[in-house]
Amino acid sequence: MTRIKICGITNEKDAVWAASAGVDFIGLNFYKNSPRKISLDMAKRISASLPEFVKSVGVFVDEDIESLLKTVKKAQIKAVQLHGNESPEYCAELKEKVTTAIPADTLWEGALKIIKAFRIEENFQMERLADYQNIDYFLLDTFVKDIPGGTGQTFNWDLAVEIKKTAKPVFLSGGLTPENVIEAIRKVEPFAVDVCSGIERTPTRKDYDKMLAFIKAVRKT
The pairing of beta strand 79-82 with beta strand 55-60: parallel
Reply yes or no on whether 196 is catalytic: no
3-state secondary structure the chain: CCEEEECCCCCHHHHHHHHHHCCCEEEEECCCCCCCECCHHHHHHHHHHCCCCCEEEEEECCCCHHHHHHHHHHHCCCEEEECCCCCHHHHHHHHHHHHHHCCHHHCECCECEEEEEEEECCCCCHHHHHHCCCCCEEEEEECECCECCCCCCCCCHHHHHHHHHHCCCEEECCCCCCCCHHHHHHHHCCCEEEECHHHEEECCEECHHHHHHHHHHHHHC
Out of 7, 14, 24, 194, pick the active-site residue: 7
Whether 24 sits among the annotated catalytic residues: the reply is: no
Active-site hit among 24, 141, 194, 196: 141
Residues belonging to the active site: 7, 141
